[in-house]
Amino acid sequence: MERRTIGAATLEVGAIGLGCMPMTWAYTTSEQDGESSLRTVHAALDHGVTLLDTADMYGPFTNELLLGRVLGRRRAEAFVSTKCGLLVGEQHIVANGRPSYVRRACDASLRRLQIDEIDLYQLHRVDPEVPIEETWGAMADLVAAGKVRALGLCAVGARAQRRTAAEPLYAETIRQLERVQQVFPVSCVEAELSVWSPEALVSLLPWCEARGIGFLAAMPLGNGFLTGTLTPGVGFEPDDIRARHPRFTAEMMAANQPIVVGLRRVAARHGDATPAQVALAWLLAQGRHVVPVPGTKKERWAVENAAAARLRLTEEDLAEIAALPPALGSWD
């Protein structure tokens, strides 16, 4: 697989990553199976994927434990990205950016993952009660201690951070990035970016590109919608995050089908390509610093996603995708 550099020149990863969250968190828990997920991770590594994206809150903790079973044998083939900063309670999730917690969380992640050093350690969410410089400083200390190679900021929850509804989507994220850059270099930003959620193209992606900062595209397949495998009107299990998502009502899924139809039309010009592969190839075309991180718990999809790294879209393809109608329905 093609390799891409994110942040510092030493951070080289496969062009397509693997989001491990669905294996133990957020999506249809009745279909979660540890042994099947292990096969998925092994298959991804076999097909050139190196970046494995996880977090201590996924489970909580079970996602890292699962990856630890793979990394104990295949550490040299993997680039491990995990996150800290969110605590999962029975009824809610809260941010915790206290330096003492960051240090404990890192040590615990290292134990669960069965590794000596985390390649990319990301702040999952900013704690509004703790100056971000203090949290970032504690994370920088972990680099100095040899426990972490590089630092990143996860901006997946950017909509909730806006000071006003009129403020540009990633304005607060960029303010946070500029503050922590004064403490220790940011190597990577993880944020949502896909054909049906392209907002990061306006300001956040150019900001990262101008500074040589890598960009991990989270939810690159629109929580599964852009794969074309979901049927409008077929509900989700109550514990699936899409069951409460405004864009995944039967009405909105039907209204947004022209996006999938357009991706399928482009895919037809590339032999046996799929809509999902076109959506991932579109992301790869947005810049050499962009690495899509599609999440899956199934081996079949991991192999298909990895193959998207070989798909090269033409200017005609990109123009057709740019002309697709914007997604309908609130994302909040």
| Secondary structure element (H or E) that encloses residue 41, with its range | helix 34-46
Q: At what angle do helices 315-322 and 275-284 cross, to 10 degrees?
A: 100
| Secondary structure element (H or E) that encloses residue 151, with its range | strand 148-154
Does the active-site annotation cover 58? yes
Specify whether the CB–CB gap between 307 and 47 falls below 8 A.
Answer: yes
Q: Where are the alpha helices (DSSP H) in 182-290?
A: 204-210, 250-255, 257-268, 275-284
Taking the C-alpha atoms of residue 1 and residue 55, their distance in angstroms, rounded to an integer, is: 25
How many other C-beta atoms are found inside a 10 Å radius of the C-beta of residue 234? 8
Catalytic residue among 27, 58, 121, 170: 58
Using the structure block, give the residue that is written with the tokens 């999962």.
88
Catalytic residues: 58
